[in-house]
């Protein structure tokens, strides 16, 4: 005989429960937290475990569509999904196992680029590159979706506040690039003119206020034939062409969170990044990777250990502290040495010179 524990409001203990199994003992308790806790304490541990497992309140789905156990994760360590990252048919099958969240896809506000002529040209070039190298052979809808992701990142607090900054984020770091084409060597290949013109038209439209409503607030995407480790940590929104689009979970992925303002300075990229770009891209951005600087310099001749060498001394006032220097160039410190320091240096050089001469004489045959 089983026990049915029914919670009812006070004064309604005569309620009839017709669905209880035959022979089951029925008990009524007042609908108060204290009464329920007291009755639960009377249950044996096995019964309490079953009750907790069947409690609908504890089985409530995450309102943001996050998979169970993935409400948060440590960015410092890639999560283990129980299988290796795969490509090809296996990846397609794995992606199909996880359904789309089915949550509303809310459109973003139009983005209209307001920048100087130089910044506007650079932003257009970087946006065109992203569209071309990421989705050149996708339908126009797929290219528009990629452009929307770039603009969403420009506005999101987690990303740079320029188009080029977003597109090239991480490409000069060991942690990896955000857009694969910026670090996999794709930029070495000359774009096909017709496809480039198509991508450029999509870029102009995106920077002129066009909103792609298909992907809403998406900030991530990947091809359907790969399985990135981060996919289960985000809300799977939709698929456009060969790309699956995701947004951040919770309020972080909703349109009100995209409060960042465009800052421009499209050419304000790191020296390491600029050095990694091909010459054509450097020219398009209106910048050049910094090469060895030619400082104001003069030459000195020093005799050390019996050997005479001439050195080029760069003027520290004209040379950046972290700039690369040509081999054989000495760079003076920013602080001029004191007379005592100069004397100690000269005395040390003289002693070294005498010691070298003495050693040389001792090695000469009689």
All structural domains of the chain: 3-59 (no CATH), 89-285 (1.10.10.2520), 297-363 (no CATH)
8 Å CB contact between 215 and 245 = yes
What angle in degrees, to the nearest 10, is found between the helix axes of 117-135 and 193-207?
Answer: 120
In the predicted structure, residue 342 carries a pLDDT above the cut 50: yes
> What is the arithmetic mean of pLDDT over 193-207?
96
Distance CA 226, CA 234 (A): 16
Can you tell me whether residue 311 is helix, strand or coil?
A: strand
Q: What is the pLDDT of residue 299?
A: 61
Structure tokens that stand for 249 in this block: 């979970």
In the predicted structure, residue 97 carries a pLDDT above the cut 90: no
Query: Beta 297-304 vs 307-314: how paired, if at all?
Result: antiparallel
Q: What is the pLDDT of residue 289?
A: 44
The overall average pLDDT reported for the chain is 74
| Total number of residues shown for the chain | 366
Can you tell me whether residue 6 is helix, strand or coil?
A: strand
User: What one-character DSSP code corresponds to residue 77?
Assistant: S
> What is the arithmetic mean of pLDDT over 24-29?
50
Q: What is the pLDDT of residue 246?
A: 96
What sign for the dihedral angle of Cα 77, 83, 86, 92?
negative
């Amino acid at each position: 005989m089983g026990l049915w524990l029914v919670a009812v409001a006070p004064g309604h203990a005569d309620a009839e429960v017709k669905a209880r199994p035959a022979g089951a003992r029925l008990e009524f308790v007042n609908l108060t937290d204290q009464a329920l806790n007291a009755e639960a304490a009377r249950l044996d541990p096995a019964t309490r475990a079953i009750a907790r497992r069947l409690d609908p309140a504890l089985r409530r789905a995450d309102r943001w569509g996050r998979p169970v156990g993935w409400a948060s994760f440590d960015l410092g360590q890639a999560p283990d999904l129980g299988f290796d990252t795969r490509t090809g048919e296996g990846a397609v099958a794995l992606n199909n196992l996880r359904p789309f969240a089915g949550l509303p896809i809310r459109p973003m506000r139009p983005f209209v680029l307001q920048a100087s002529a130089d910044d506007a040209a650079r932003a257009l070039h970087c946006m065109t590159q992203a569209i071309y190298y990421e989705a050149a052979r996708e339908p126009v809808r797929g290219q528009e979706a990629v452009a929307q992701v770039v603009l969403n990142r420009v506005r999101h607090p987690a990303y740079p506040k320029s188009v080029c900054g977003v597109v090239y984020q991480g490409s000069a770091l060991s942690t990896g690039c955000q857009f694969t084409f910026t670090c996999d060597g794709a930029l070495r290949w000359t774009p096909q003119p017709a496809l480039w013109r198509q991508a450029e038209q999509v870029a102009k439209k995106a920077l002129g206020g066009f909103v792609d409503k298909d992907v809403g607030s998406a900030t991530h995407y990947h091809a359907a034939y790969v399985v990135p480790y981060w996919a289960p940590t985000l809300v799977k929104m939709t698929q456009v062409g060969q790309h699956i689009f995701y947004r951040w979970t919770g309020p972080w992925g909703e349109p009100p969170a995209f409060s960042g303002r465009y800052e421009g300075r499209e050419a304000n990229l790191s020296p390491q990044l600029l050095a990694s770009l091909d010459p054509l891209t450097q020219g398009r951005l209106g910048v050049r990777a910094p090469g060895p600087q030619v400082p104001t310099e003069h030459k000195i001749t020093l005799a050390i250990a019996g050997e005479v060498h001439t050195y080029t001394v760069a003027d520290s006032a004209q040379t950046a502290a972290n700039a690369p220097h040509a081999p054989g160039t000495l760079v003076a410190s920013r602080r001029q040495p004191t007379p005592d320091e100069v004397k100690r240096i000269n005395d040390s050089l003289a002693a070294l010179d005498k010691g070298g001469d003495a050693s040389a004489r001792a090695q000469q045959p009689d």
